[in-house]
Amino acid sequence: MIAANNPDLVSWINVSEDSDFPIQNIPFGVGFLVQDEPFVATRIGDKVINLAALNDKGYFKELGFHSSDFNSSSLNALMKYGKLPLRNLRNRISSLFAEGNMELQGHDEDCMEVLYSADRVQLLLPVTIGDYTDFYSSKEHATNVGTMFRDPANALLPNWLWLPVGYHGRSSSIITSEVPVVRPKGQTKVEGENPKFEASARIDFELEMGFYTFDGKPLGERISTAEAEDFIFGLSLFNDWSARDIQQWEYVPLGPFLAKNFASSISPWIITLDALQPFAVDTPVQEPEVLSYLKFEGKKSYDINLEVFIQPKDGAEDRVCLSNFKYMYWNMAQQLAHHTVNGCNIRCGDLMGSGTISGPTPDSYGSMLELAWKGTKPLTLSDGSQRRFIQDYDTVIMKGHCTNGNVRIGFGEVRTQLLPAID
């Protein structure tokens, strides 16, 4: 067992039972206080912990890190060390804040300099993202979309059951929680008419998880499914915003472009793959049998409960989706193995989107396209208003957590408001 994962650990920081951030979590992010420089951080309960200050005070002196690794506006420098050094760091943080450890506890001056109330800290995009790949790995989602737009009897395209489909996305427009999104404009087309340039009328969310990578192997070498998790740092919640009307017109023959690259929203805390180990589960049965490089052993999927809420302007949050990451047909190890099987190199800070996470029941569909079934079955919110797609000033909120009866590991939330198109 990884030391920081011990379910018996209790922190001397107060943590409520429903907190996403018990001592067994130890996520990583980047934050700052008003008029101060950014710093690498973690969180326990309602306290954000300044890891730069802890390092400068000598609490990590045996771990081999540098001050600049923590006094930074991104996690990239820290991630360059790879999986084992960051496991050691997470274990050290866990030990420092465990009940009974008096190294820091009781040192009021040090505590004041490293512990902040979460509401005082503004969180930044945690990683300077290099390349971004988005997958299409939910069988339920792909089947639903294929049923809507093609022959229901042949909903899945011929390649879908043989490989994790993906496309290269745009990293420059990936934003963190609380940053609003402007309704995009582009070309749309109604059958029988010429295309029009106009604001998209069908803005959608896509419930996804995103995982960040460490440095991979040199160009020309591939990563196997057995090795893949050694190259994955951790996961965040991911909202892959989509303009469905723009997408429908542009996606043939090369796939999504303007319909996807206007914005994607990600939660600010990265939950390490180490912290998620206790929640590993079996991947759904894959038929036909996958090719040799996609075969794997062990539990490579993760039991992560996911929720999506829509909040109208000045209104209440309404939950519209309850899903789970474990439903994904293609797991992260397979996605990374496929991504590199041709020798493509991955780099520290690359981001991989899981693809929309839909489950087997209508309330578990991970997009408005499915929930309202292409707009034909609008959702009614608690204020009586209806939604076929996301309206101006709506806020979309995604939350996620794991629990096994002993420990709850949460992701916080990603919260994004949609603003009207710019004239």
φ, ψ for residue 141 (rounded to 5)?
-65, -50
**Cα separation, 44 vs 98, whole angstroms:** 11
Q: What average pLDDT does this structure show over 278-302?
A: 98
Q: What CATH number does residue 43 fall under?
A: 2.30.30.230
Does 202 share its domain with 58? no
**Cα separation, 212 vs 295, whole angstroms:** 22
Does 227 share its domain with 184? yes
pLDDT of 34 reads 86
Residue 267 belongs to domain spanning: 132-419
Does 252 share its domain with 387? yes
* Domain termination site, one of 68, 101, 123: 123
Does 215 share its domain with 290? yes
* Domain termination site, one of 90, 123, 156: 123
pLDDT of 405 reads 87
pLDDT of 106 reads 87
Helix (H, G, I), strand (E, B) or coil at 198: strand
Does 23 share its domain with 99? yes
* Domain termination site, one of 123, 150, 171: 123
Q: Above pLDDT 70, what percent of the chain?
A: 100
Does 153 share its domain with 40? no
Which positions ≥6 away from 340 have C-beta within 8 Å? Answer: 216, 217, 221, 222, 223, 346
**Cα separation, 307 vs 304, whole angstroms:** 10
User: 35's torsion region: left (phi>0), alpha (psi -120 to 50) or beta?
Assistant: left
String of DSSP letters for 298-352: S--EE--EEEEEEE-TTS--EEEEEEEGGG-SS-HHHHHHHHHTTSPPP-TT-EE
Can you give the length of the chain in residues? 423
Burial readout 404-422 (b: 16 or more C-beta within 10 A, e: otherwise): eeebbbbbbbbbbbbeeee
pLDDT one-digit tens code per residue, 149-184: 988 989 999 999 999 999 999 999 999 999 999 999
- pLDDT reading at 347 higher than 90: yes
pLDDT one-digit tens code per residue, 46-67: 999 999 999 999 999 999 999 9
User: 362's torsion region: left (phi>0), alpha (psi -120 to 50) or beta?
Assistant: alpha
Helix (H, G, I), strand (E, B) or coil at 60: coil
Q: What average pLDDT does this structure show over 9-17?
A: 97
Does 159 share its domain with 281? yes
**Cα separation, 203 vs 258, whole angstroms:** 12
Does 246 share its domain with 380? yes
Q: What average pLDDT does this structure show over 87-116?
A: 96
- pLDDT reading at 312 higher than 90: yes
Q: What average pLDDT does this structure show over 109-117?
A: 96
**Residue 350 banded pLDDT, cuts 50, 70, 90:** very high
- 355 neighbors 136 (Cβ within 8 angstroms): yes
Q: Above pLDDT 90, what percent of the chain?
A: 96
pLDDT of 35 reads 80
In this structure, which amino acid lies at residue 348? Answer: C
Helix (H, G, I), strand (E, B) or coil at 25: coil
Q: What average pLDDT does this structure show over 64-92?
A: 98
How many domains does the chain contain in total?
2
Does 84 share its domain with 194? no
Does 395 share its domain with 304? yes
Q: What average pLDDT does this structure show over 115-135?
A: 97
Does 240 share its domain with 301? yes
Would you give the end-to-end CA distance of the chain in angstroms?
56
**Residue 392 banded pLDDT, cuts 50, 70, 90:** very high
pLDDT one-digit tens code per residue, 176-230: 999 999 999 999 999 999 999 999 999 999 999 999 999 999 999 999 999 999 9
φ, ψ for residue 35 (rounded to 5)?
70, 10
Active site residues: 141
**Cα separation, 411 vs 405, whole angstroms:** 17
CA atoms within a 13 Å half-sphere pointing along the CA-CB vector of 228:
25
Q: What CATH number does residue 318 fall under?
A: 3.90.850.10
Tell which wins on pLDDT, 133 or 36: 133
Which positions ≥6 away from 201 have C-beta within 8 Å? Answer: 188, 245, 389
Does 26 share its domain with 74? yes
